[in-house]
Structure 1
Amino acid sequence: MDAEGVMADNNCESAIQLAYTAYGGNLKAVQIVLAFPSSSDARNAAKRLKNTADKNVVWRRSSAHRSYSYGKIYTGAYVKHMVITIVTANSSAKPKAEKFHTAMQTDRGVYFFMGRQSERAVTS
């Protein structure tokens, strides 16, 4: 998964790839979630991959369309995790693709932020 050693250089502890399809297969997505020992490690890795994830991360390309009308990669650091979301869509799903992509990336990020908040919860 770490074609150029970016994750190893930033102490990545583990990673997982998930594949999704939507709208009858007209939209396909791959999401990679990586865990780091610190938030600064996650942020540094995300910065290094911001515009180069397509070249520096080996991901399951068979889970994306070979040709597509919409194709983008989002990266982001969330607490001690980095999320990379790749979405491709053919012309029939293109109108929905960007909104779907943003929601998918945001949803995973919020999950890590909310998990962090629950660690601080005080109960009586």
Structure 2
Amino acid sequence: MADNNCANAIQLAYTAYGGNLKAVQIILAFPSSSDTKNAAKALKNTADKNVAWRRSSAHRSYSYGKIYTGAYVKHLVITIVTANSSAKSKAAKFHTALQTDRGVYFFMGRRQTERPMTS
């Protein structure tokens, strides 16, 4: 992603439903929305091969396994979800919610969603 001017990246790992569902979310920050869009285009249908992520944070074999990628202003969010047969029925909804929640956070602007601490 350095070719697309990626400034920072972070990877988060989640488990749900007693470990029957696992998710990895990669968030990449870019200096401009055009850089973000260019990176998203470059990764279209190739994020699994072209982004390094901890595969140990996902199931080795799974009943549900998909990757969603979305550009949100200056951030690119990649969400990978795998689930075994016990959580397969819940995986698509979980996946959509996780991707959308993070995307809305960046799309709406972090400052609007943060609350100042009061005493």
- Shared fold, TM over 0.5: yes
Matches within 5 A, 1:25-104: 25-104=19-98
Aligned length: 112
Structure 1: gaps spanning 5 or more residues: 1-6, 119-124
Q: Note the alpha carbon deviations across 1:79-116, whole angstroms, 9 max, x for none.
A: 10000000000001000000100110000000001216
- Tell me what 1:21 maps to: 15
Runs ≥4 residues deviating over 6 A: none
Alignment of 1:98-117 (within 5 A): 98-115=92-109
| Structure 2, gaps ≥5 residues long | 113-119
CA distance in 2, matches of 1:24, 1:42: 35
- Aligned-residue CA RMSD (Å): 1.1
AA partner of residue 35 (structure 1): A
Secondary structure of the structure 1 residue equivalent to 2:14: strand
**3-state SS, counterpart of residue 98 of structure 1:** helix
Of all paired residues, the percent bearing the same amino acid is 88
Partner of 2:12, secondary structure, is: strand
2:109 aligned counterpart, secondary structure:
helix
